[in-house]
Amino acid sequence: MKQYIRKKTRKIYYGSVGVGGDSPITVQSMTNTDTRDVHKTINQIKELEKVNCDIIRVAVPDPEAADAVKDIKKSINIPLIADIHFDYRLALQSVKNGVDGLRINPGNIGSIDKVKEVVKACKDRKIPIRIGVNSGSISKEYLEKFGGVNVNSMVESALEHINILRDMDYHDMVISLKATDIYTTLNAYKSISEIVDYPLHIGITEAGTQWAGTIKSSIGIGSILLMGIGDTIRVSLTGEPVEEVKVGKQILRSIGMLRDKIEIISCPTCGRTEIDLISLAKEVEKKVENIHRPIKVAIMGCVVNGPGEAREADLGIAGGKGNGIIFKKGKVLKKVKEDKLIDELMQEINKL
């Protein structure tokens, strides 16, 4: 698989997790629980940890939520980011209570003196700030100046916030410019990546429900990553946060940026198929789900063409009528009965 050159950015840390520089691309999510419900929020984060979520964000709308992050932080194993709008006091309270990062736009929290307080607290504790400009949160000034929501209004809005922190000699920033429109998002990230070297958090905002949002996010996030842009991602779905992480990890796997488990490739079936290929592929996928080995396994429905079409796979099976073959790098290893195909395949996987 072709290796894409990723733009080198500054490296920051959320706790012990690096973002930018030579760090692997991380996958984030955000809880949809009431942060004030500590027990429920911790339980959801624990579920996210099981699917290898790298960083988690929680909403902090009031002082009670800011207090809750103290207990949440003590009970989880991944970095915790506080998402704050407008109130600098909530940022200070969250920092004091141990968060690993803030998501806050400095231009929206009041006077320069208030911003300075937040920056000092973050500097003292080496806490990064993510500046997040969404297509729906651009100031009226830039909307009027640039004629609505577009790349220019998003980038200029982001630069306004960036420059406030730069002027205070603060550089532990992560930047995001998300729109619901894929083209706008892609071009906004391309533009900002040519101007600053801060790590970029990428995603398509308000992408939609699990099915539609997965497709839209995969196209958008995947396209940006393939340009070499992006250091951490979030798939924004109207659904369970666990699904966001699963999709995010799979996007990285699909473009060769994460090789943490077996990759299954399978043919779409056709009129030549004489076995239950759909069930076969699902069963193999389930059996290898927890095998962390960077190999490619092909599940093909045609003995005649299967090995040739999937010759790049490390291992594979192709089915015929009542029988099938096991092949390796396109060469047939053995012929086996249909009901033994999966068992034989698993034996060969375990040999690798």
Q: How far is CA 330 from CA 56, 246, 272, 313, 349, in A?
A: 42, 30, 20, 7, 15
What value does the mean pLDDT take over residues 93-105? 94
For residue 91, is it within any domain? yes
Same domain, 324 and 241: no
Same domain, 89 and 178: yes
Same domain, 80 and 158: yes
**Of residues 289 and 194, which shows the higher confidence score?**
194
pLDDT surpasses 70 at 307: no
Nearest to 334 by CA among 325, 344, 322, 323: 325
For residue 206, is it within any domain? yes
Instruction: Judge whether 177 and 169 are in contact, CB under 8 Å.
Output: no
Q: Residue 250 and residue 260: Cα distance in Å, rounded? A: 10
**Of residues 232 and 104, which shows the higher confidence score?**
232
pLDDT surpasses 80 at 335: yes
* Backbone φ/ψ region at 119: left (φ over 0), alpha (ψ -120 to 50), beta: alpha
Same domain, 328 and 218: no
Q: Which residues 6+ apart lie within 8 Å of 137 measured at CB?
A: 105
pLDDT surpasses 50 at 324: yes
Neighbours of 322 (CB within 10 A): 10
| DSSP run (H or E) holding 350 | helix 341-351
| DSSP run (H or E) holding 81 | strand 80-83
Same domain, 99 and 164: yes
pLDDT surpasses 80 at 302: no
The percent of residues above 90 in pLDDT, for the chain, comes to: 59
Domain-ending residue, one of 199, 225, 254? 254
Beta-bridge partner residues of 102: 82, 129
pLDDT grade for 4, boundaries at 50, 70 and 90:
low
Q: Using one digit for the tens of pLDDT, what is the confidence trace for 50-62?
A: 999 999 999 999 9
Instruction: Judge whether 100 and 127 are in contact, CB under 8 Å.
Output: yes
For residue 6, is it within any domain? no
pLDDT surpasses 70 at 40: yes
Same domain, 239 and 295: no
Q: Residue 248 and residue 270: Cα distance in Å, rounded? A: 30
Dihedral angle sign, alpha carbons of residues 59, 65, 70, 75? negative
Same domain, 177 and 56: yes
What CATH number is given to the structural domain containing 320?
Answer: 3.30.413.10
Encoded tokens for 309: 């079409």
For 303-328, give the secondary structure using H, E and C. Answer: CCCHHHHCCCCCEEEEECCCEEEEEE
pLDDT grade for 1, boundaries at 50, 70 and 90:
very low
Q: Residue 279 and residue 266: Cα distance in Å, rounded? A: 12
Q: Using one digit for the tens of pLDDT, what is the confidence trace for 132-152?
A: 888 777 888 888 899 998 999
pLDDT surpasses 70 at 290: yes
What is the SS3 assignment for 250?
helix
Encoded tokens for 302: 């045609």
Q: What is the pTM of this model?
A: 0.88
Total tally of structural domains belonging to the chain: 2
Same domain, 268 and 236: no
For residue 68, is it within any domain? yes
Beta-bridge partner residues of 177: 133
pLDDT surpasses 60 at 2: no
pLDDT grade for 163, boundaries at 50, 70 and 90:
very high
pLDDT of 134 = 83
pLDDT of 323 = 79
**Of residues 41 and 157, which shows the higher confidence score?**
41
Same domain, 114 and 42: yes
Domain limits for position 304: 263-351
By the 10 Å C-beta count (0-12 exposed, 13-18 middle, 19+ buried), 70 is classed as: middle
pLDDT of 306 = 65
pLDDT of 341 = 86
What does the mean pLDDT of the chain come to?
90
Same domain, 203 and 280: no
What CATH number is given to the structural domain containing 245?
Answer: 3.20.20.20
Same domain, 30 and 150: yes
Same domain, 289 and 320: yes
What is the SS3 assignment for 343?
helix
Domain-ending residue, one of 236, 254, 272? 254
Q: Residue 168 and residue 163: Cα distance in Å, rounded? A: 9
pLDDT grade for 305, boundaries at 50, 70 and 90:
low
Neighbours of 335 (CB within 10 A): 12
pLDDT grade for 3, boundaries at 50, 70 and 90:
low
